[in-house]
A and B are shown apart, each in its own frame.
Chain A
Amino acid sequence: MNTVVDMRGISRVYETGRLQVAALRGVDLAVGEGEFVAIVGPSGSGKSTLMHIIGCLDRATAGEYRLDGSAVEELTDDELARLRNRTIGFIFQSFNLLPRTSALDNVATPLLYQGVGGRERHKRARRALERLGLGERLDHEPTELSGGEQQRVAVARALVTEPALILADEPTGNLDSRSGADVMNVFRDLHEAGRTIVLITHDLDVANQAQRQVHVRDGLIDQ
């Protein structure tokens, strides 16, 4: 089994003036291909920092991180952007769809940054949206969609590039329980289809639906 996320001794220290705050203090984490892992921890535990580093939005202060075989610390900013684009599908708590942009164009945007041509882009985006039951909502802008629908558009956007890792940050946090359950069903289906999923949450009910739980406390993984 390939290891998608392979972290060794990852730490992250923030410097605020003379004060140094260690958000992560030597984290080891491995997520294999096809795994569905929930990272659980209270606020302030360092799980958001961990999510940012897994997602290549931030760099570790020390330690080694290989994402789908690439040594992240050696990459330039542009190469990191490329890695985010091709290897990771992000799903955020607040959906983070592009405003005043149709569902179809939202889902097509990651392909735009890959240089995929307009027609092919829209074909793939349409297919991804149809797979999530949004075939009737292609031309709707985010403000015309319900929270559950917005989050499914976000999932479609995360899937459209066929990434090695789906990284979800509190995906149900802004949804009512029914929409939340819908979205969790989507994750379960994706897991069954063999996708690698890392889900960050503070909600144990959500975490319990994952295959494996990793608890973070005070910047360390608590096995």
Chain B
Amino acid sequence: MQAKAGPLEKKEASLGWKLILPTVIIIGGLIIYPVIYNIYLSFFEVSISPGKPNIFVGAENYVSVITDPGFWRSFGITILFTFLTVAGGIILGLGVALMMNRKFIGRTIVRALILLPYITPVIAIVFAWKYAFLPIDGPLVRSLSSIGLMDPGVDLINDPNNAFWVVTFFNIWRNFPFVYLMILSRLQSISKTYYEAAEIDGAGDWAKFRFITLPELYFVIGSVALLRGIWNFYKFDEVYLMSKFAGTLPIYIYEKAFIGVPQQGVAASIATLLFVVMMILIGYYVKKVLKW
């Protein structure tokens, strides 16, 4: 049996509502409204000229996207790209974090230097990479060819056949410092007594890593993988700047919806589809991996 709310509880409830109202309005205006408007637009052929109204086309935008083999091809490429970059970034970030967790001379400087790829503006890095790999004149190509490791006339970065690997490798290199930073901060808070106890029990380095470090890092790595997964799934700038051939989903959307006369309805339907897919994946991941 529920107790009837007295005047005091009522007052408290109404005060509570008043207090969260600003938050509700902000979230409503900045998140819920755009999402709903996007879903609404996805059922229209959106006109860009002021005189012409939008035309309701039902599910036509969705049908045209789902039945396009190009969409599924890009989808596959994006999944592979996301998987490889997240896995690569975590392995590299973990390795570097473990090394940087040991004491050595100049550690502070090295720790700061490692962050450079992540904090430098992407356009500057892209040009730096392209310059370093320039055939004949690029400094990296020059030094590698002078010791006979490569042919100076080879253009690794701009070869369309290398596009996928170039953007994948570039993404791992650019983003591993983020993983490294997260893991390192967790590493530093693992109590030394665990390791001391393990040593008394005769555990080797591998056993210590496997049974102490890794379990302690589990949730950090899980969360970082989730974040990087979401970010890389939608990654446009780095990929497009490095190569026009990488063919991931964000580039598919760009080419499909924004080249020529913008097709906002089609773009909205793709965004809605991806939103649904991502929500399902994230929901599953959060439940199973992060065990919320």
The answer to whether A and B assemble together is: no
- Chain A residues engaging chain B, CB cutoff 8 angstroms: none
- Chain B residues engaging chain A, CB cutoff 8 angstroms: none
